[in-house]
């Protein structure tokens, strides 16, 4: 099974900050990576897939990059509605589908 | 508009059973692979089970294999999860989630239904 890790586990940031979250897979996943945003009490929402492709309707301040085992999600200018928990998910080798443990972004 | 609406959650005793349902609308349900994903209180996301569009291919997480059964009724646009021999560690919000066409990531999620396993 492919294990996913994320760093940091949490971060505090201010509106307007540039935020970067890292996701690492236990083996290469050939850009088969998705990112989700989850707000308290809500279902996750797909942000990006194929490591860098923005889902329709997602603001362009969200971007993704990476290759091999290491990937990043960047929010170029944090907005109030972006305070949430972010999860990465690999779909290179399934089953099982595996998620990272999450990164909580809160207000500094 | 794509909608996924889960139901069937509730309080059940350890060792008990529960059947979750997910009603789909706004898309051609029979064309999409579907999944159940769960989230224990205060924890991260855990994939539980997958079913192909026809129902012919099914996968389970090791943590539920032999206890949970996924199924679907394409005529009723519905996805199901039969959960038997429930344990305290199965306590979670259960989401149904649609695979994006041709890939194993999830483009739509339901709102979730809470399953609590406790005596």
Say if CB A24 and CB A37 are below 8 A apart.
Answer: no
Q: How far apart are CA A38 and CA A104, in angstroms?
A: 9
User: How far is it, in rounded angstroms, from Cα B115 to Cα A22?
Assistant: 32
Please judge whether B100 and A100 are an interchain contact, meaning their C-beta atoms are less than 8 angstroms apart. Answer: no
A80 touches chain B (CB under 8 A): no
* 119 residues of chain B, pLDDT tens digit each: 999 999 999 999 999 999 999 999 999 999 999 999 999 999 999 999 999 999 999 999 999 999 999 999 999 999 999 999 999 999 999 999 999 998 999 999 999 999 999 99
Put simply, whether A97 touches B (Cβ < 8 Å) is yes
In tens, the pLDDT along A83-95 reads 999 999 999 998 9
DSSP for B87-104? -GGG-EEEEEEEEPTTSS
A94·B112 Cβ contact <8 A: no
Strand stretches in A1-108, DSSP E: 4-7, 10-13, 19-25, 33-38, 45-49, 53-54, 62-67, 70-75, 85-90, 98-99, 103-107
Q: How far is CA A87 from CA B20, B23, B26, B73, in A?
A: 25, 25, 26, 30
Contact B45 A43 (CB under 8 A): no
Cα nearest neighbour of B65 on chain A: A96
* Cis amide linkage into residue A70, ω under 30° from 0: no
- Look at the alpha carbons of A76, A2, B111, B93 in this order and tell me if their dihedral is positive or negative: negative
3-class DSSP assignment, residue A48: strand
């Amino acid at each position: 099974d492919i294990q996913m890790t994320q760093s940091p586990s949490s971060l505090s940031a201010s509106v307007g900050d540039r935020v970067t979250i890292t996701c690492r897979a236990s083996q290469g996943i050939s850009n088969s990576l998705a990112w989700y945003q989850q707000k308290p009490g809500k279902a996750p929402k797909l942000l990006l897939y194929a490591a860098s492709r923005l889902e329709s309707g997602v603001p362009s301040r969200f971007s993704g990059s990476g290759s091999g085992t290491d990937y990043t999600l960047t929010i170029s200018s944090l907005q109030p509605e972006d305070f949430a928990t972010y999860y990465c998910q690999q779909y290179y080798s399934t089953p099982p589908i595996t998620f990272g443990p999450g990164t909580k972004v809160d207000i500094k | 508009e794509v909608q996924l609406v889960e139901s069937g959650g509730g309080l059940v005793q350890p060792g008990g059973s529960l059947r979750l349902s997910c009603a789909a609308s706004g898309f051609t349900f029979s064309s999409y692979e579907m999944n159940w994903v769960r989230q224990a209180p205060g924890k991260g996301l855990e994939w539980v089970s997958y079913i192909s569009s026809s129902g012919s291919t099914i996968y389970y997480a090791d943590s539920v294999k032999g206890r949970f059964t996924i199924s679907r009724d394409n005529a009723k646009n519905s996805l199901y999860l039969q959960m038997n021999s429930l344990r305290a560690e199965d306590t979670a919000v259960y989401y149904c989630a649609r695979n994006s066409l041709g890939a194993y990531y999830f483009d739509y999620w339901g709102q979730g239904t809470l399953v609590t396993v406790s005596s």
